[in-house]
Structure 1
């Protein structure tokens, strides 16, 4: 009993206990309810097991029952009422049997285990609810049906499955759903209450004492599901939905993920048979990749192959590899990936549909709400709301940390199709041009935070000053996060003839690029900017950007031949425009390329020529260029066995740093000083003056780490590790391991040098 209310389902026993609890005799209850004493006695003795609804209501009022108690009394009476008969015979309960299980169901073992553990925990006061949500095609229904069949033995009082038609134009109403559930529990149509609330109360009363498993498939929202959930009793309800149903409280959540590649191949194997997969193992893997590991897509591919027993897997791989035909290829009979996506797409608000399809135009693996807002032509706040709605609908995946979103590959293809179908080329181009303009303006303003020649007191030209990065850290974070977007914008601006904008952005990136020289993209950036300078007929700017391009070929992609071509072209352009600064830089970049090509004597000649060219100029830019050239010349001399001469040149470079460069910040000169110290340490190491070499290398490493310049810091760490190894210092191995791993991550050619130094250290330690 709970609060004195009997738990038994027998109407007579329930009525007698309620009357006794109220302190009423049969005569008193008869008088208050307007029911004869004989009729009341027959009810309590079980002779009348199913009195009419109006009689039960009169008794409930006379007994002073609350809403739930009255509903429970009605439920017990309803069970005893005779069912209407038809010409075919007695009416049977409406059956809501579980759908057929899928015999080739694959994976999801961890999720199934969690559900099994939940089922064991179900108790009288713990009705359990699990929401299975996620994007279209994840196999939510298949999972829930499979789980229901597996868990059926835990719920001997019945398993009910109800499709709520959440993707239909008119989903099942809670009122109709309750009628079907009550019918399945044996309630006659004539005994089912008219109102939704009364139906819900009756359903909860019937479910309260039973171990039921309820599958509510394809729910549209919380308001549809809430009235159907049992309020008490040891039941388990599985709810599947393309929506997150975040408003449902006290529920467990089962967010299905994409299959792993081996799981996708296993599903394919179970459908088409192991022989065909073994015969084309790589094609099976490729097919899983082209399906994006989406269960629905893998199943469709498998069913298609099953219906064509002589078709090779490789043939379907070739067809699906063409992006424009992939969704066409992923259909088998009534199964279509495109149709699954279309169901969800049609349910969206107009703004969210626009956001989804235009977001497919974004570059890179993910995108920000800013990008989505620009492409869709929506205010930022509205774009955020759309992105969240699409995430709840399973059509976008949100980043767990940053406010960024991504598509599943197949969903992106579908969204791109909608751009062509609903927007067309003209609207698409307007969206891309608007985004290009904004992205390049923001990228330029953000990059100027790193430009030592920029007057930082001037107003920002950012397109959204209130939301603009406010310092170097924020600027760097934005430039890194949006790298794919602003690079795509630069390409579009170049290809559509907006050459001044290309040049301005690339010029602003010059100093920022030094901090990220491991980015291979700089070759494309400066190739396009030098092309734009040529298109504008500016030989001076062409020389500068050809120099940037030579730098990128030398240090970012380690292609000295291309670097030499760019540097030689820069020398010609610089001399044509009378720009001695750019001529000096070009001679230096050419020397670097020649050195990497093994043409050491030519490299040394170019470096001395560059140093002479720059020393005759008085600008701050020339002093910084001279520092770079001197450091490079000293490095070359050390590498050809002239370490003492190299040390003298690097000491000269250090003197320039200590004297300072007018108009340049202490932070900038500190970086040049760090380079000089690194080279001085290496010169001393070459002269086997190990103890003298350690301090300048430590100072250089600390400076590069402070400036967050990993490509520079890790090379200094390698140099320090080698010196520590020679000194048999206890930090030597740790330093070399860190340098090796970091240089490998940066794809630096010096990673092999680090590995060799570490191997030599270990060999020396073991005496082998």
Structure 2
């Protein structure tokens, strides 16, 4: 060293010094680290000298890299913020195909000027059957720092200590790509010094402390189209702009899939984008179409799938059979045949592995569209039709039993003392609010279960579920699915040969056509069919309902006189019946008839009809609970209030409409609530009341959200209020 023949001491000299000085392991490693700083290291090309090969050099950057600006900005902030006492670590995680490596490499190239002591990239091969061990990874890092193989410490701890000592004196950028877990990464992280480490992994690596997380999301649609444009050129994309957008959607905005589609098109310069779109539209061929050379979406998914345990693989592929945008662990457990707690553990493991995305507020999970296709392929390959059908049947049976029990919480005629038919009463909903939450969250699942029961001939189960849903459906008139529910239940009643049940479910269907999808022509046809079935089954109650639903359809078609005539026929038919159900139906028919009479300009006659309804409510209906009669009484109050409005008796109308609104709000009946709010708002507007604007605005916004035709009426009322407001 004194003669200038070497810049640093040989390792054996340092070991002898450490032994003579009595240094412990950490002190000896620190001395060796300081000595190593003076040993020759490979350096990049300089203006005065030739290029030198740099071990663990960064991979080539991708010139058409697109988007990720926010994530890049975050890493730049980290690079600027590093200091001797605060080395930074960023973990880039997410599902297969998100472009984690491409992002990390691009970021490393962008950040390289901030790390003049070097940039090192190491592939940890986390998806290989035998990932790189920490010991081997440290050997490669130390070798890149100039430590000869013969001078490497034997143990992992000693190698890690030496690596930290060497890194502490440098400003390094370290890229650790494709990490398998925390145990592999932890020994490789610098402890001090102004370094930045970027770690990519399909696992969340949630156990790494004091790291900045960079969870990449899917590209936005316009970003996916931009990536496609950079690959194949603006001319081809501009010539087929809609096809480019469709292609981005079919790729699920997944960067790997978009890149593969782009590379495929680039290799076929005369092929139209629309041709590839047509191929990918068929779900069964989509993964086959997303391959270009050695790039394959299916292969990226397979790497992660093979890493899973057998139980977790089963959960993942069977969960792909679930309907809807997301699914609960409950559904996953049923499909996979696992206990609930095991299903939760599998779902969390898959979330950490980037194969499922968890809902931010509820215990629900979702697939990326392409990954769902891959998982469904594995069902066919590993389970076969028999196992698949058994899983679907098991799940459908359970779901329909739970859905039926949950819906009965809303059935005012249901015997509350009857034992629950829920498949698992200990976990089933016990209140209306819990039942509503479950029915809404699992709507796609129980509707799919109803379809399967219908298609496999389980007619009685379909009828039981649809009948239980009748009252719940009235609280959710904005759900268009009720048309399908009651169409299928009508089919099942017909298949069972029950004319009375057929009439009942056709009446439900006519209601759905009238109020859920606003299709009065189909409602009239269906009500007429219900009327024929009711008369064939000698069911006077359903005959009255069929006349009423037909009248509603006629009114919506502008055939007002015919509608009134049918309603009067319905009222006479129901008055002859002695059952409690007939009294309730009569109340509905009278309230509807009165409304039509009022709209025809005969408000006094309408008030008389509604007073008749009020007398029935005050007398009560034998065998029916008071809270049910209170609902009908609230509807009657609303109608009487509107009759009084038509007679310009505003001050008498206001308290009745407020009472009706309060009842519907308490009962959580949004479709009914907002119509009552609109009626009240119009009264307040006519009276010049200061609450008018807020009431009408709230009604308009809610009716629009419910897709109610009365939203236009609310808008007109607001406009009228604006015109009548004094200037200034």
TM-score interval, smaller chain: over 0.9
Show CA shifts across 1:121-155 (max 9, x none). 10111011000000111111111111111111111
Partner of 2:358: 398
1:487-636 alignment runs, 5 A limit: 487-636=447-596
Partner of 2:215: 255
Partner of 2:25: 67
Aligned partners of 1:394 and 1:650: how far apart in 2? 61
1:235 is aligned to 2:185 = no
Aligned partners of 2:11 and 2:495: how far apart in 1? 89
Partner of 1:166: 126
Partner of 1:144: 104
Question: Are 1:94 and 1:180, in contact at CA under 8 Å, matched by a contact in 2?
Answer: no
1:732 is aligned to 2:686 = no
- What SS is found at the alignment partner of 1:130? strand
| Partner residue of 1:281 out of 241, 266, 272 | 241
C-alpha displacement of 1:374 = 0.6
Question: Are 1:106 and 1:267, in contact at CA under 8 Å, matched by a contact in 2?
Answer: yes
RMSD: 2.0
Question: Are 2:499 and 2:536, in contact at CA under 8 Å, matched by a contact in 1?
Answer: yes
Show CA shifts across 1:41-97 (max 9, x none). xx99999976665654454355343432221112234456799xxxxxxxx886010
1:434 is aligned to 2:394 = yes
| Partner residue of 2:672 out of 709, 712, 715 | 712
C-alpha displacement of 1:234 = 0.8
Flag structure 1 segments of 5+ consecutive residues without an equivalent.
1-42, 84-91
Partner of 2:85: 125
Flag structure 2 segments of 5+ consecutive residues without an equivalent.
42-51
Partner of 2:421: 461
Which segment drifts farther, 220-229 or 595-604? 595-604
Aligned partners of 1:62 and 1:709: how far apart in 2? 86
| Partner residue of 2:284 out of 310, 324, 330 | 324
| Partner residue of 2:713 out of 733, 737, 753 | 753
| Partner residue of 2:346 out of 366, 386, 389 | 386
Question: Are 2:40 and 2:146, in contact at CA under 8 Å, matched by a contact in 1?
Answer: no
C-alpha displacement of 1:655 = 2.2
C-alpha displacement of 1:180 = 0.4
The alignment's TM-score, normalised by the length of structure 2, stands at: 0.96
Aligned partners of 2:64 and 2:12: how far apart in 1? 52
1:315-464 alignment runs, 5 A limit: 315-464=275-424
Judged with a 3 Å threshold, the aligned counterparts in structure 2 of structure 1 residues 48 and 412 are, in CA distance, closer, same or farther, namely closer
Show CA shifts across 1:147-177 (max 9, x none). 1111111111100000001111111111110
Question: Are 2:37 and 2:166, in contact at CA under 8 Å, matched by a contact in 1?
Answer: no
Judged with a 3 Å threshold, the aligned counterparts in structure 2 of structure 1 residues 525 and 168 are, in CA distance, closer, same or farther, namely same
C-alpha displacement of 1:767 = 7.1
Partner of 1:690: 650
Judged with a 3 Å threshold, the aligned counterparts in structure 2 of structure 1 residues 766 and 206 are, in CA distance, closer, same or farther, namely same
Show CA shifts across 1:509-559 (max 9, x none). 111111111111111111111111111111221121111111111111111
- What SS is found at the alignment partner of 2:578? coil
Question: Are 1:204 and 1:230, in contact at CA under 8 Å, matched by a contact in 2?
Answer: yes
Question: Are 1:620 and 1:662, in contact at CA under 8 Å, matched by a contact in 2?
Answer: yes
Partner of 1:7: none
C-alpha displacement of 1:430 = 0.5
Aligned partners of 2:527 and 2:219: how far apart in 1? 50
The alignment's TM-score, normalised by the length of structure 1, stands at: 0.91
1:219 is aligned to 2:179 = yes
Which segment drifts farther, 389-398 or 712-721? 712-721
Question: Are 1:571 and 1:583, in contact at CA under 8 Å, matched by a contact in 2?
Answer: yes
Question: Are 1:68 and 1:201, in contact at CA under 8 Å, matched by a contact in 2?
Answer: yes
Show CA shifts across 1:412-449 (max 9, x none). 11111111111111111011000011000111111111
- What SS is found at the alignment partner of 1:465? coil
Aligned partners of 1:266 and 1:357: how far apart in 2? 32
Partner of 2:263: 303
C-alpha displacement of 1:199 = 0.7
1:30-109 alignment runs, 5 A limit: 53=11, 56-57=14-15, 59-78=17-36, 95-109=55-69
Aligned partners of 1:215 and 1:82: how far apart in 2? 23
C-alpha displacement of 1:596 = 1.4
- What SS is found at the alignment partner of 2:90? strand
1:110 is aligned to 2:70 = yes
Partner of 1:5: none
Show CA shifts across 1:192-241 (max 9, x none). 11211111111011001111000000001111100100011111000000
Judged with a 3 Å threshold, the aligned counterparts in structure 2 of structure 1 residues 106 and 49 are, in CA distance, closer, same or farther, namely closer
Partner of 1:186: 146
Which segment drifts farther, 397-406 or 289-298? 289-298
Question: Are 1:327 and 1:338, in contact at CA under 8 Å, matched by a contact in 2?
Answer: yes
- What SS is found at the alignment partner of 1:547? helix
Aligned partners of 1:52 and 1:269: how far apart in 2? 55
Partner of 2:44: none
Aligned partners of 2:59 and 2:300: how far apart in 1? 19
Aligned partners of 1:494 and 1:345: how far apart in 2? 34
Question: Are 1:71 and 1:198, in contact at CA under 8 Å, matched by a contact in 2?
Answer: yes
Aligned partners of 1:577 and 1:178: how far apart in 2? 84
Partner of 1:29: none
Which segment drifts farther, 526-535 or 73-82? 73-82
- What SS is found at the alignment partner of 2:262? helix
Question: Are 1:518 and 1:746, in contact at CA under 8 Å, matched by a contact in 2?
Answer: yes
Moved over 4 A (4+): 43-55, 78-83
Number of residue pairs matched by the alignment: 719
- What SS is found at the alignment partner of 1:609? helix
Partner of 1:656: 616
- What SS is found at the alignment partner of 2:89? strand
Show CA shifts across 1:655-696 (max 9, x none). 222222232223222221111111111111112222222221
Show CA shifts across 1:705-743 (max 9, x none). 111111111111111222222122222222222222211
Aligned partners of 1:335 and 1:200: how far apart in 2? 36
Which segment drifts farther, 58-67 or 151-160? 58-67
- What SS is found at the alignment partner of 1:240? strand
| Partner residue of 1:294 out of 246, 251, 254 | 254
